[in-house]
Homo-oligomer: A and B are copies of this chain.
Amino acid sequence: MEPVNIGICGLGTVGGGTFDVLNRNAKEITRRAGREIRVSHIGSRSPKTDYDLQQVCVLADVFDVATAPEVDIVVELIGGCDVALDLILTAIEQGKHVVTANKALIAEHGNEIFAAAQEKGVMVAFEAAVAGGIPIIKTIREGLTANKIDWLAGIINGTGNFILTEMREKGRPFIDVLAEAQELGYAEADPTFDVEGIDAAHKLTILASIAFGIPLQFEKVYTEGISHISAQDILFAEELGYRIKHLGIAKRVPEGIELRVHPTLVPERLLLANVNGVMNAIMVHGDAVGPTLYYGAGAGGEATASAVVADIVDVVRTLTIDSDDRVPHLAFKSDCLSDVRIMPIESVVTSYYLRMEVLDQPGVMANVARILSELDISIEAIIQKEPQIKGSEVAIILLTRNVEESKMNEAIAEIESLDSTLGDIVKIRAESLIN
């Protein structure tokens, strides 16, 4: 059979990794795919000189790659939402299949992209957009296709997980570890996307769509970062038997679907609680399969390339298939997506870790307990820390049972209004992730 021609647009970390992996494992990949897959074109303004590009047509303008007649599959690895969107729509318009690692683009413009692809009968594959080398898209979309997915919860931002891991293991403050992560190249100069949860929200948007058969709706994800997490809270959580992880959670509830990214207390005996450093892991709970977990590198040139190349091989394999028989982009046929309500965060039901600084005087804890009780909020555990100096302030740490967020906020406001409460109450959600 004829070789399939790949045009790689963007030769950064992932683009370079993809080029390397396709070359290094060419024999292995051909043995599997049944035909040769070769990089015929590269779009890059400044291709690194340490690649052997003799057999490749290098073009400065990525749009020339997308329109080159010889190219069968366009691989978009330039990132960002402006040029990348134009590029992908151009490639689709030319009847070319597309592979991309661009989570922001898929999360924010995927509905438009997939509609265009469907009209043209081409595929847009995006395994690399979520959790790097872990084949989580394929797993949910194909491996768990028998299941009604109940929920998924994932550590889907390596930078954030590295920071929380270092804070826990070494008791270091957030700001210190962030600086180190930036030095190590794990975090960008502007770390907002990672530490404020935007990157995780992009990925959660995609996962939720393929898990539940709903359109991509990034704007409805509740997003909270980890910059306000203190080493102290990590320690107190541990006393209660929990680890704090920055999770993306998508959950089916009777009234709709919850989509939320926030720091979360997770029982320490769970595998998910023990995923450390820059690694990613996603728990997926299906009604037939029960709890499952998928773990691996969430970033890095070669790990992400692993997913990009898997997508390329998948596309190659379906070149002869009726386009109606292909795995749908978002797992469910586009005319079968359902318009389920996305729950506002105020309606979410979960349990809460609260930490409050209070005056060390009699009756304070009784007052707090009374407020919670009046709002029907049950307490799972309560710890009062001994004051450093007798009669000064003390910390009360509370773990509640499940309660609606709006009610929890009401209780917090009331406790904060007490004269004995000093400053704001720290609130972190907790999830048992059992069923």
Contacts and interface: CB of A to CB of B under 8 A. Distances in A.
Contacts of A176: none
A353 interface: no
A302 B322 contact: no
Interface stretch (A181-189, A259-267, A327-335, A384-392): A327-335
A239 to B, nearest CB: 21
A138 interface: yes
Interface in A286-311: 286-297, 300, 302-303, 305-310
A131 to B, nearest CB: 10
A134 interface: yes
A135 B146 contact: no
Interface string A141-170: 111111110000000000000000000000
A17 interface: yes
A95 B291 CA distance: 36
Interface stretch (A23-31, A43-51, A340-348, A413-421): A23-31
Mostly, the A contact residues are: mixed
Contact of A138 (B143, B289, B324, B326): B143
Interface stretch (A107-115, A195-203, A313-321, A375-383): A313-321
Contacts of A289: 132-133, 296-297, 302-303, 306-307
Contacts of A307: 143, 146, 289
A353 to B, nearest CB: 23
A34 interface: yes
A339 interface: no
Interface string A355-389: 00000000000000000000000000000000000
Nearest to A301: B288
B297 A290 contact: yes
Contact of A139 (B28, B33, B139): B139
A21 B305 CA distance: 35
A133 B293 CA distance: 11
B333 A31 contact: yes
A323 to B, nearest CB: 10
A321 B324 contact: no
Given A288-B303, A296-B292, A303-B289, A145 B310 contact: yes
Q: How many copies does the complex hold?
A: 2
A8 to B, nearest CB: 14
B297 A295 contact: no
B305 A31 contact: no
Contacts of A434: none
Contacts of A290: 133, 296-297, 300, 302-303
A288 B305 contact: yes
A31 B320 CA distance: 23
A36 to B, nearest CB: 12
A21 B336 CA distance: 20
Interface in A29-68: 29-34
A262 to B, nearest CB: 24
Contacts of A321: 317-318, 320-321, 325
A275 interface: yes
A271 interface: yes
A408 to B, nearest CB: 32
A53 B263 CA distance: 48
A213 interface: yes
Given A32-B141, A32-B213, A144-B306, 15 more contacts: A21-B147, A24-B148, A25-B146, A25-B147, A32-B333, A33-B145, A134-B292, A139-B139, A142-B310, A142-B314, A146-B313, A287-B302, A288-B306, A289-B297, A317-B325
7 contacts: A31-B213, A34-B328, A143-B307, A143-B310, A145-B309, A290-B296, A292-B296
Interface of A: 1, 17, 21-22, 24-25, 28-34, 127, 132-135, 138-139, 141-148, 213, 271, 274-275, 281, 286-297, 300, 302-303, 305-310, 313-314, 316-322, 324-328, 331-333, 336
Complex A-B, nearest 7 residue pairs according to Cβ-Cβ distance, in ascending order: A135-B143, A146-B309, A292-B296, A133-B289, A31-B336, A289-B306, A293-B295
